[in-house]
Amino acid sequence: MKAVIQRVTQGSVTVAREQIATIQNGFVILLGIGKEDTPIIAETMAKKIAQLRIFSDQQGKMNLSVLDTGGSAIVVSQFTLYADTRKGNRPSFVNSAPPEIAKPLVNTFIALLKAQGVPTQSGQFGADMQVSILNDGPVTIVLEY
C-alpha cells in the first residue's frame, strides 16, 4: 500500500462536474493498493496517518496530528502510484491490485481512518476525477507498507 499525504488548507474532488468531496485543513491522501495488500496493512496505514505529526504547533514545529488540529481527510484511490516505468516509456501497472481487491481495501482504509477519529470523505473508485489540492507548506509525505 502506498499513500501520498498532502497537508492542505483546501481540497476537493469533482466527478462529471459535480463536487463529491470537499475539506478545509487536513489531508488529501492519494492511495494506491498493491496486489499483496491486506486489511492489516490498511489498519497500520490508517493508524500511522491519523497520528502523523505534520501540523505546526504554536512554536512553528511540526508537532501536531490531524486529530490534534481537528482536521479532516479526503481519500482518493490512485492505482497509478504502482506505475513501473523501468522498461520503455509506457507505464506498467502489473503491481496494482485489480479492482475486485483494491476497491474493498480502499473502503476498509476509509472506514479505519474514520474509526481513528478523522472525518473522512472520498473520491469515487474508478472514476475520472478532478482533484483540487491547495498544499499547505508545501508538506507532502509518502508512506509505503
List phi, psi (to 5°) of 47: -60, -45
Distances (CA, A) of 63 to 24, 70, 79, 98, 140: 19, 14, 31, 37, 15
79, 108, 109, 121: the active-site residue: 79
- Active-site residue (options: 19, 38, 51, 80): 80
Q: Annotated catalytic residue: which of 78, 108, 116, 121?
A: 78
* Calpha distance 89→71 (Å, rounded): 39
The reply to whether 78 belongs to the active site is yes
Residues forming the active site? 78-80
